């Protein structure tokens, strides 16, 4: 499936990439990384998230180019839906998205629907970003520092700063590779964690609940 999706990314030209409402670091980082990689391959890309990028993620390259509304499905050959267990979690664009000819669904949550024509759901992966990294290797593309920073931030936040049970050897190995490609841990940690706004605290709390760290 990884190779099949890699070929789809190579062989099409007009992409919609989308992620869930109330976006977290994996949602925005995965969206930005995929958009940057596709643009690097010369593709047309629209990156969509219904809700605003949270303040602590606005340092990420590409995050200021994410759109919050999309028009008709005919503009797109392929829609790639990231980190999203059900299509309706996309929000108001779900209706448009359903009519895109080909949907590729990439996620690491186990309870989701197989709503895509191609579904790559890998619960053993720390994050959607980890799955994208494998796809990028299969194309193959060399990642820019900007794409690496997006993926690194996604893995960092979805593993709760490498504290949760999903902090696998593989997640750490990919994070190390992303640092060698230009992601700067000190910078990312400063951006992500050195401001504790109410929205930030709520997001940390939610991601901890999802990961089973906090049970109430």
| Residue range at the interface with Mn ion (CB under 5 A); choices 26-34, 113-121, 132-140, 175-183 | 26-34
Binding test (CB under 5 A) with Mn ion, winner from 5, 9, 83, 207: 83
Complete DSSP assignment for 151-178: HHHHHHHHTTTTTSTT--HHHHHHHHHH
Question: Within positions 42 to 81, which residues make up the interface with Mn ion, using CB under 5 A?
Answer: none
Nearest-CB residue for Mn ion:
26
Contacts of 177 (CB under 8 A, 6+ apart): 133
Closest listed residue to residue 182, CA positions, set 142, 125, 155, 154: 142
Q: Degrees (nearest 5) of the Cα angle 30, 36, 37?
A: 90
3 state SS of 14: strand
| Residue range at the interface with Mn ion (CB under 5 A); choices 43-51, 60-68, 83-91, 191-199 | 83-91
| Residue range at the interface with Mn ion (CB under 5 A); choices 21-29, 39-47, 96-104, 187-195 | 21-29
Helices (H), 14-62: 25-40
Q: Which lies closer to Mn ion via its Cβ, residue 8 or residue 83?
A: 83
Binding test (CB under 5 A) with Mn ion, winner from 26, 130, 149, 191: 26
139-168 footprint of Mn ion as x/- string (CB under 5 A):
-------------------x----------
3 state SS of 206: helix
Q: Verify binding: residue 107, Mn ion, rule CB under 5 A.
A: no
Q: Which lies closer to Mn ion via its Cβ, residue 117 or residue 211?
A: 211
């Amino acid at each position: 499936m990884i190779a099949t999706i890699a070929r789809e990314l190579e062989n099409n030209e007009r992409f919609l990439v989308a992620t869930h409402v109330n976006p977290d670091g994996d949602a925005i980082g995965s969206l930005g990384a995929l958009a940057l990689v596709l643009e690097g391959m010369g593709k047309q890309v629209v990156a969509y998230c219904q809700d605003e990028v949270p303040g602590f993620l606005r340092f990420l390259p590409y995050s200021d180019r994410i759109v919050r509304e999309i028009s008709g499905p005919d503009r797109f050959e392929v829609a790639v839906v990231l980190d999203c267990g059900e299509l309706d979690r996309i929000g108001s664009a779900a209706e448009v998205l359903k009519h895109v000819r080909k949907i590729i669904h990439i996620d690491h949550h186990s309870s989701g629907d197989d709503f895509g024509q191609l579904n790559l759901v890998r619960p053993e992966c720390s994050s959607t970003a980890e799955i994208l990294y494998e796809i990028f290797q299969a194309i193959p593309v060399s990642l820019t520092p900007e794409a690496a920073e997006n993926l690194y931030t996604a893995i960092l936040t979805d593993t709760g700063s490498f504290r949760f049970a999903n902090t696998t050897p593989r997640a750490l190995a990919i994070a190390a590779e992303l640092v060698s490609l230009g992601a700067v841990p000190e910078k990312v940690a400063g951006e992500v964690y050195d401001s504790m706004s109410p929205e930030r605290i709520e997001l940390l709390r939610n991601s901890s609940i999802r990961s089973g760290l906090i049970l109430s």
